[in-house]
Structure 1
Amino acid sequence: MALFPASALRSGVRKREVFGWAMYDFANSGYTTVVITAVFAAYFVGGIAKGAPWAAFAWTAALSISYAIVMLTMPAIGAWADLRGAKKRVLVVATTGCVLATAALALTPRFAGASGGVALAMLLVIISNAFYSYGESLTGAFLPELATPEGMGKVSGWGWSFGYVGGMLTLGICLAYVLWSQARGLPASHFVPVTMLITAAIYGGAACATFALLPERAQPKTAGGELGAWQQLRATYKRARAYRDFMWLLVCTVCYQGGVAVAITLAAIYAEQVIGFVASETMVLIFVLNVAAAVGAFSFGYIQDRIGHKVSLAVTLVAWVAVCVIAAVVTTKGGFWWAAAIAGLAMGSSQSAGRAMTGYLAPPQQLAEFFGLWTFATRLASIIGPLSFGAITWATGGNQRIAILSTAVLFVAGLLLLLPIDMRRGREAALRK
């Protein structure tokens, strides 16, 4: 526990609480790694939809619908959780929903190619991804309650690095089972369901550490219920000018997270269709990318607290631009490995920096609500990024190299939108009653 220096924590916060909080990142990262990126995405397209021309569009449509649902509901859910002092209760509900829906994905191979099979898989992806997103937002809202403003980068980095370790563990177990199954000639319809059950079990089991160790420090503010939550949310939007640096951060987030979403949802597809990776090589690639991301999140958390959140995020965005350029021009697997390694480092550090900046600029009495707004921005980005990639690919006759190069524009836009943010002014606004 020496990794958690007391100087980074608020008075009264025990190290075991931070460990419990970080364990939630450990718990939920397997979902994105296995379901969204490495395993179920490819199986949905090739196995359930049987490689139909519309299969990739159906997959991105399911994700976009889930993100749209979260965009429309998470800010109000966050406001309600703040008013009721119920972040932890809502987190338990969100976790349960995602775990159950992920486990239910194990049933989808039975309906592969059948009428309604694609619709069932899409429905379960929508449900599981929406609940995952709720959980990600709510766990982020605990960060400012645990860390000092000066230590927020470190603590956020611990969480993200734990998350990538969890993602690697889940993917590693799944990969071992896939290789074992393939060596015995078992089809994907056999091993994909097992990987869904493995992912659900690790998510639910590791999250129990969070529920046991992380206390709810917020106190109920009113008994106004849902009406009070909506009133609070409307009041926040009306006072947006008072939080202009936070609002600039949200716009910046929409841009650069759009590019990150492309990497998360389409990296495996790009590696296989453009560079020539096979499925097992892709899983190894994603595993190593998670290693790099864990190193980036952990180490950059300490650097971030030294050089500042804004400068740290700017550095990672420059790295993302380099990733897009390299991925667009390389023609060998070795060259693409360089892009993946840089992407891993940039992914962990940029996501950690963005969450820490949100916690730094959010009013202490409205943490869940403001992290709900942050979730709105990240989910809007998750719609814009992949759909833009798909649209450019379609418009250029299937040229994914042009699409990945165009993704660099999102990171450049994020870098430009980062410039007007004044962290000191934003923090003063957040602390103003």
Structure 2
Amino acid sequence: MVDAVVHAARFPPGLLRVDARPGHGSAPRRRGESRRERHRVSLPPAGRREILAWAFYDFANSGYTTVVLTTIYSAYFVGVIASGGNDTSPGLATLLWTLAIGASNFIVLLAGPVVGALADYRARKKRFLLVASAVCILGTALLALAGPGEVTLAMALVILSATAFSFGENLIAAFLPEIASEERAGRISGYGWGLGYFGGLLTLGLCLAWINYASGAGMSAAQYVPATLLITALIYACTAAPTFIWLRERATPRPLPPGYSWLHAGFSQVAHTLRRAGELPDLFRFLLCLTLFQAGVATVVVVAAIYAQEVFGFDSQQLIVLIMVVNLTAAAGALGFGHLQDRFGSIPTLSAALLVWVAAILAALVASEPAHLWLSGNLIGLAMGATQAGGRALIANLTPAERNAEIFGLWGFANRAAAIVGPLSYGLINHLWGDNHRLALLCTLAFFVAGLLLLLTVNERRGEAAARATG
């Protein structure tokens, strides 16, 4: 139920010390040299501290997804800020929430690949990441200003903060091929997602403590929810600091083609990548597969609390406790499936995770009392950690070495397309069928089934060979 990220505080000695990652040189590849050693820069291999610094960004930004997108603010928006719309049009508040999320993702869908290509050309992923983080933190804090009935202001700030958050997700993911060897991409991606779930737990725990105190003092949701947004912004700002102190940019700038502006170069590189899609058929097939199952994941992330609140009557404290428990199972899923992915391969592992998703959604559909939702929620957590970490690692292994940020921009493109189609389909079905959340959830189940069927057509080894040849 949470799109946050996860990671353990300690790792076995030597486990996180990996090979140096690529720059963008043009030297011919020596026999036996891997594609991630081909474009080497002078920086030493990424060590434990640097990998932890990378993973800590997941820890930092997870509070945003858990508090704003998944738990407290989504339910607050539907139940307080936009609740007046439901009096005249059942399901309108949920639809407005999904429209705001859809608008944010549409912006990132259009701009994400270009920003990624620009980051590749200029080797400034870290600088772009800093800007995206600052905007998201500011937007989150400003959400505290939107009170009951101020729907337009709330939607605008959600769009601003969610857009910046998504750009940050794309950019931090683009560092993965630079700091992790192909053999360890799965587990290191899992460490990142896993540590993030613990970051979500920290943020939710502090918010729960505040809500318990405030509600005990007789405050209403309109009085205590704004403070949770300030808590979230502060934790994000403080815990992202290690990333910007210790994570290093290993890419090297590429010269701008004559007569090109940076923007023109970015669009041209993306267009070039799309024209060469035939050279990387398994990468692009998996991107389509990811779009399908991520449509389901994105829907669960932004409507989970709404579903629990509207169908089963959960209050703020119950929602937070549920999501905190789900964070633990998600952390276990990310860490456990990351190791399984490196051992058994991405396709079998992701297939198993998608089967768990199907079981979790079916359990939520047939649930008749709140206790049943706890079973579904924990299955969702286990599956979410696995699919989020596994998908990112597989993209890393299918990506040509010198186009990391660009391809991860397309990864973000796929995620953003999914985050438009999934939640909006839920919101529209729920609205058109008179606030029918179960029917809307049935549509979400279809995304996971379709994604699983397409995943079975992806050939991981062939895709990795194509990435080496193209890079």
Q: Same fold (TM over 0.5)?
A: yes
1:312 equivalenced with 2:321 (yes/no): no
1:95 equivalenced with 2:133 (yes/no): yes
Counterpart CA distance in 1 for 2:16 and 2:157 is: 43
Give 2:111's match in structure 1, choosing from 62, 70, 73: 73
Structure 1 position 222, deviation (Å) = 1.6
CA RMSD of aligned residues (A): 1.4
**1:26-65 aligned within 5 A:** 26-53=59-86, 54-65=92-103
Whether the 8 Å contact between 1:8 and 1:152 is mirrored in structure 2 is no
Structure 1 position 143, deviation (Å) = 0.6
Whether the 8 Å contact between 2:16 and 2:51 is mirrored in structure 1 is no
Give 2:46's match in structure 1, choosing from 13, 31, 49: 13
Supply the AA of the counterpart residue of 1:174: C
Whether the 8 Å contact between 2:108 and 2:166 is mirrored in structure 1 is yes
**1:81-160 aligned within 5 A:** 81-109=119-147, 112-113=148-149, 117-160=150-193
| Alignment match, 1:337 | 374
Deviations 1:134-177 (Å, cap 9, x if unpaired)? 00010000011111111111000000000100011001101110
Give 2:241's match in structure 1, choosing from 188, 208, 228: 208
| Distance change (3 Å), C-alpha of 1:175 and 1:188 | same
Q: Secondary structure at the match of 1:52?
A: helix
**1:285-304 aligned within 5 A:** 285-304=322-341
Structure 1 position 399, deviation (Å) = 2.5
Counterpart CA distance in 2 for 1:268 and 1:233 is: 37
Structure 1 position 52, deviation (Å) = 1.7
| Alignment match, 1:371 | 408
Whether the 8 Å contact between 1:8 and 1:154 is mirrored in structure 2 is no
Counterpart CA distance in 1 for 2:119 and 2:290 is: 23
Q: Secondary structure at the match of 1:277?
A: coil
| Distance change (3 Å), C-alpha of 1:7 and 1:165 | closer
Structure 1 position 418, deviation (Å) = 0.6
Please identify runs of 4+ aligned residues in structure 1 that moved more than 6 A.
none
Whether the 8 Å contact between 2:94 and 2:427 is mirrored in structure 1 is no
Supply the AA of the counterpart residue of 2:227: V
Whether the 8 Å contact between 1:327 and 1:336 is mirrored in structure 2 is yes
Give 2:455's match in structure 1, choosing from 409, 414, 418: 418
Counterpart CA distance in 1 for 2:191 and 2:47 is: 15
| Distance change (3 Å), C-alpha of 1:189 and 1:391 | closer
Whether the 8 Å contact between 1:8 and 1:150 is mirrored in structure 2 is no
**1:224-373 aligned within 5 A:** 224=257, 225-373=262-410
| Alignment match, 1:162 | 195
Counterpart CA distance in 1 for 2:437 and 2:138 is: 35
Counterpart CA distance in 2 for 1:66 and 1:394 is: 20
Moved more, 288-297 or 223-232: 223-232
Whether the 8 Å contact between 2:119 and 2:125 is mirrored in structure 1 is yes
Structure 1 position 234, deviation (Å) = 1.1
Q: Which runs of 5+ in 2 are unaligned?
A: 1-9, 21-44, 87-91
Counterpart CA distance in 2 for 1:14 and 1:278 is: 44
| Alignment match, 2:11 | 2
Moved more, 242-251 or 47-56: 47-56
Whether the 8 Å contact between 1:161 and 1:348 is mirrored in structure 2 is yes
Structure 1 position 402, deviation (Å) = 2.5
Whether the 8 Å contact between 1:69 and 1:130 is mirrored in structure 2 is yes
Supply the AA of the counterpart residue of 1:355: R
Structure 1 position 218, deviation (Å) = 0.5
TM-score by length of 2: 0.88
Deviations 1:73-100 (Å, cap 9, x if unpaired)? 0000000000100110100010011011
Structure 1 position 289, deviation (Å) = 0.9
TM-score by length of 1: 0.96
Structure 1 position 406, deviation (Å) = 3.0
Structure 1 position 424, deviation (Å) = 1.2
Supply the AA of the counterpart residue of 1:17: E
| Alignment match, 1:197 | 230
Counterpart CA distance in 1 for 2:210 and 2:382 is: 27
Percent identical residues: 46
Supply the AA of the counterpart residue of 2:68: V
Counterpart CA distance in 2 for 1:202 and 1:4 is: 29
Counterpart CA distance in 2 for 1:424 and 1:238 is: 22
Q: Which runs of 5+ in 1 are unaligned?
A: none
Structure 1 position 43, deviation (Å) = 1.7
Counterpart CA distance in 1 for 2:13 and 2:256 is: 37
Aligned length: 428
Counterpart CA distance in 1 for 2:408 and 2:447 is: 22
Counterpart CA distance in 2 for 1:192 and 1:141 is: 34
Deviations 1:4-42 (Å, cap 9, x if unpaired)? 744762141111010000000000000010011111112
Q: Secondary structure at the match of 2:146?
A: helix
Q: Secondary structure at the match of 1:9?
A: coil
Structure 1 position 129, deviation (Å) = 0.2
| Alignment match, 1:219 | 252
| Distance change (3 Å), C-alpha of 1:4 and 1:348 | farther
**1:377-392 aligned within 5 A:** 377-392=414-429
